[in-house]
Chains A and B, each alone.
Chain A
Amino acid sequence: MEVIIAGIRQALSMLVSFDPEVMAITWLSLKVSGTATLISLFIGIGIGTAVALSSFPGRQLVVSLINTGMALPPVVVGLFVTIFLWRNGPFGYLEILYTPTAIIIAQAIIATPIVMGITLAAMQQLPRKLRLQILALGATRLQMVWLLIKEAKLSLMAAVMAGFGGVISEVGASIMVGGNIKGYTRVLTTATVMETSKGNFDLAIALGVILMLFAFAINLVLTRIQQRERPQ
């Protein structure tokens, strides 16, 4: 028990004193996971909306695949990304293995199906007649899609939070493709794993607490945006 209290105390003292190493690690975590989430939003909402609004043969299969993708194990994603980015692998010439960019790629792959799946469900839940109504009022197709996205905003914000939550807390892929390199690709989760294996449990807990605090702060902002225009 004492170790938890010591950990929380250490987390607070590191935050208050702006411990430069912890700040850098936290900043990198937010930057990497934020970028990955942003990328996943473009792809996820785009494809999710397209699949939700269209019908084509094999659609059920595609939807099942997307939903399965929501359960993609990060380690497996990490393994595949590593193999592809190896120096002597197909994308080796990019030389981005063990860089923050590699982590962004892996995390974007993890978050995209999550965002896509939730988008799909959200868009399908909108009344079918809404589309006709919007089009009847003279909107172009693009305007219609935009209005539908706006209509599903509540659920889409949930998609953002789920995607971000999925990647900021993820460790398997980050450690594999990033390598947990000090001052370069060490993020909060990989640092926590390392400190645990070093036996520095209080420091590991402190890092965990900081991760939760930042996740809470970001979700608070997102939730405010989400709830501001709650339908009365």
Chain B
Amino acid sequence: MKRCFRIVGLLTAFSALLCMLVAGDADAARKAAAKQKNLILATTTSTQDTGLLDVLIPIFEKKTGYFVKTIAVGSGQAMTMGSKGEADVLLVHSQAAEKKFMADGNGVNRRLVMHNDFIVVGPPTDPAALRGTKKAAEGLRKIAAAQALFISRGDNSGTHAKEKEIWKAAGIQPEGQKWYQQTGLGMGQTLGVTAEKKGYTLADRGTYLAMKKNLGLDILLEGDAVLLNIYHVIEVNHAKWPKVNAPGAKAFADFMVSQEVQKIIKTFGVAKFGSPLFFPDAGKKVEDLGK
């Protein structure tokens, strides 16, 4: 009988402890009370992997009292979330898909935030002799001709969309080719795979710079106007999805194009990587970028 009591005692103590932990979670309670202040930001992996959001979100939260739930996925998935009303505000970089998103009435107030550029990176040995090539489409044609390994994101992200756009411009259908592999992973991991397999890939400069130290990959093609990587902030259409936190979305979008944030973007990464990862563009026109 004594044994029995001991087990009961132990179990009770364990349960009580756990219940206390859950119930006594003051933090959770506070957040539950501030439910109305929750804001879901669906964004691309690059803004998280570079660490930019880790800098910006705390400032926004402190300033406005909103609690931002950042869901870092590819631009494609971010826009799918938006089109289902499952996110309040988007920070994405997939122009064609964004235009469709807006045309379908899923978003309002699409505003330019910043840009950087895409680059083609590959092994320093450069088996496809890409170095010196100026045009992105020509570069990909060289990779195809040399049948050099190309690693694609393959995840409907903004980067993947851009890559498909360039393949199309090059007049090549890479899918199904032996030298063309898709990871289905984020940019950081795809760069890792590319480095390991000594292949080529299309990357955004920000993520590449942030990860450069571990990679051993060189920038082999850059500077083509088609390689501009442009980030927009979009508020999800409140009229279509009543549950969307419209004031919060607007506050966040306003914040992203505010002078304060644009200034932070301008210098973000300089100290750590020697050059900025993004260029602030609020108020500019897409056509004027990169000039």
Contact = CB atoms under 8 A, between A and B. Distances in A.
- Interface majority SS (helix, strand, loop, mixed), chain B: helix
A5 interface: no
Contacts of A99: 28, 31
Contact of B15 (A31, A38, A88): A38
A197 B45 contact: yes
Interface in A84-111: 86-88, 92, 95, 98-101
A184 interface: yes
B226 interface: no
A80 B140 CA distance: 39
A35 B21 CA distance: 9
Interface string A188-203: 0000001011110100
Interface in B123-170: none
Interface stretch (B69-77, B227-235, B258-266): B69-77
Given A38-B18, A88-B84, A179-B69, A199 B211 contact: yes
A194 B241 CA distance: 31
Interface string A19-61: 0000000000001001100100000000000000000000000
Contacts of A229: 3
Range of interface residues on chain B? 35 or more
A198 B192 CA distance: 10
Given A38-B15, A98-B71, A150-B7, A199 B243 contact: no
A35 B28 CA distance: 15
B22 interface: yes
Contacts of A197: 45, 49, 185-189
Contact of A182 (B70, B186, B211): B70
A88, A101, A153 — which one has the most chain B CB atoms within 10 A of its CB?
A: A88
12 contacts: A86-B84, A95-B38, A150-B3, A150-B7, A153-B7, A181-B70, A181-B71, A184-B31, A197-B185, A197-B188, A198-B210, A225-B10
